[in-house]
Amino acid sequence: MLLYMLKKTNKYLLFILFYILSFYNFYGQTVAEKKALSTLLISTEEKFNVRFTYATENIKNVYIEEPSEAFSLAEILDYFNNNTTLLFTKVDNRFITITSKFSTFERCGIVTNSITGAPLEGATVQTSNSNFSSITNKEGWFVIPATIKATTITISYIGFKKFEFPISKLETEICLKITMQPVIDKLDQVLLNYFTTGIEKQDNGSTTITTKNFGLLPGQIDNDVLQIIQVIPGVESVDETATNINIRGGSHNENLILWDDIKMYQNGHFFGLISAFNPDLTQKVTIYKNGTPARFGEGVSGLIDMKSKNTLSKKITGGAGFNLINANAFVSLPITKKLGLQISGRKSINHIFESLVYSSYADRIFQDTEITNAQNTGSSTTISSNEDFSFFDFSAKLLWDISEKDKLRINFLTMENELDFTETISETNTSKTSVLEQKSNVGSFSWTRNWSGKLETIAFAYGTSYLLNSTNKDILTTQEILQENEVLETGIKLDASIIF
């Protein structure tokens, strides 16, 4: 009998144990199937292209079972409302607010851009009595506790008009959508000096330099035109010379350089260290880095258009001076009331006085050439050398105002660089001289006719020549290298300007 009762008791114990294990397993499966509400919100946003706005503390530690995949957005919101202590409110087709059913945050709003519809994050929300203020979150959402007593609310955001409305308007809708209007302000015109006085940026994209009112740039002692333009962004010289100018990364020979509308093939002295154009008579310079007018043509990279003084002087003006490289002089001479003459010239002075500045220029130009390496021939022969360098330029311009409507101008410019390099063998007293000569001669004739206040024509003819001639003799052999390069160009142009 006792054995029978023990067997029966064991059966009950096994049944109870099985029941407890089954319940625990069922409960464990139920808990495991629940997911964090924050995770379900993210998947719902991606699936239906909506955005939930909420306070983070409201959804923290909230877990529910995942809704069916077949549910629509409305069914999912109903599911969330019925299975949480939160209230899900659809503001529009995109925004859905989440608030606590037992929260004191009963009034809320969403601030958006009236043009783009995008939410404005960081907008300031302030009540009329200033006892409450807040900012919108990344979804443009804000909440105001029901305990806050105020009559109006002001919303402000940089670049938008302030929006003020009665706080009672928040109570008419579950979450009020507020659109902010952008503010368009017209700024006052600001005039700035472009690096220094005399440099101006024009509406057509060009840059003009007027030497009459020009202020000296840092590091400059003369108003060298080709040095001045290198302060303009996009214009530089890769070898830091005055004439080897690169505009927008282009090479020097891709630039079109004009002097009084004459195309120039030579524009420097001292192998590019000094500009060949006398700044005393160069009145205006226009630089086009891009968008060069079609009337010029030929400039692949950029245009440098230099103009000399084009008006008659009422009295004699002029000047002269010198520096440690050259001496210069210019004069503007009125011959009659309708006829005038402008003359300028420069000449190197190293044959009179060889300054330290000239020596540093010569070391810069002649470095790693035969002139500086003449004695390093590698042989036992003693060779002495001597160089003689000189340059000059001369320009003249005749101005004739034939009548009030007709003006005649004649230009002439010549420039030259010359280098003689003599090598002598001391043992035999044998000498040979190498020569390098660079010349340019240009001239032009122009007739301007002002037919009326709206029509003007200019007939222009020009000629330009450039010659490079060199003879290089080897002192140790009979070898001679001859080089000659000559450019001759003539042209006729007719310009007409019409004001419609």
Measured from the Cβ of residue 284, the count of other Cβ atoms closer than 10 Å reads 16
Q: What is the pLDDT of residues 73-103, one digit of tens each?
A: 989 998 988 888 788 888 778 888 887 765 5
* DSSP secondary structure letter of residue 371: T
Average pLDDT, the chain: 83
Residue 90: φ, ψ to 5°: -85, 115
Instruction: Read off the tokens for 124.
Output: 């300031």
Sorting pLDDT into bands at 50, 70 and 90, what band is 31? very low
Is 70 exceeded by the pLDDT of residue 8?
Answer: no
Q: Under a CB-based contact definition with an 8 Å cutoff, are residues 257 and 282 in contact?
A: no
What is the architecture of the domain spanning 199-308? Beta Complex (2.170)
Q: What is the pLDDT of residues 186-234, one digit of tens each?
A: 888 876 655 667 788 888 888 888 877 666 666 666 667 788 888 888 8
Sorting pLDDT into bands at 50, 70 and 90, what band is 408? very high
Q: pLDDT value at position 267?
A: 85
Is 70 exceeded by the pLDDT of residue 20?
Answer: no
Whole-angstrom distance, CA of residue 56 vs CA of residue 391: 82
Range 60-74 average pLDDT: 88
Q: pLDDT value at position 188?
A: 84
The gap from C-alpha 306 to its chain's centroid, in whole angstroms, comes to 25
For the ranges 84-88, 103-107, 160-164, the maximum mean pLDDT occurs at: 160-164
Q: Under a CB-based contact definition with an 8 Å cutoff, are residues 329 and 318 in contact?
A: yes
Helix (H, G, I), strand (E, B) or coil at 413: strand
For 36-180, give the CATH class.
mainly beta
Q: pLDDT value at position 348?
A: 92
Alpha-carbon distances of 462 from 396, 433, 486, rounded to whole Å: 15, 36, 17
Helix (H, G, I), strand (E, B) or coil at 316: coil
Is 60 exceeded by the pLDDT of residue 368?
Answer: yes
Q: Where are the domains of the chain?
A: 36-180, 199-308, 317-373+382-498
Alpha-carbon distances of 372 from 377, 386, 391, 430, 478, rounded to whole Å: 11, 10, 20, 19, 21
Give every strand in the sheet of 51-54, ordered side by side. 51-54, 95-100, 86-90
Instruction: Read off the tokens for 410.
Output: 């004649």
Instruction: Read off the tokens for 174.
Output: 């579950």
Q: pLDDT value at position 406?
A: 95
Whole-angstrom distance, CA of residue 251 vs CA of residue 267: 15
Assess whether the region 36-180 and the region 199-308 belong to the same CATH fold: no
Alpha helices in 380-462 (DSSP H): none
Is 50 exceeded by the pLDDT of residue 461?
Answer: yes
Q: Under a CB-based contact definition with an 8 Å cutoff, are residues 88 and 155 in contact?
A: no
Q: pLDDT value at position 1?
A: 45
Is 70 exceeded by the pLDDT of residue 24?
Answer: no
Sorting pLDDT into bands at 50, 70 and 90, what band is 375? low
What's the pTM? 0.59
Instruction: Read off the tokens for 63.
Output: 């877990």
* Cα dihedral value 365, 368, 369, 370, nearest 10: 140
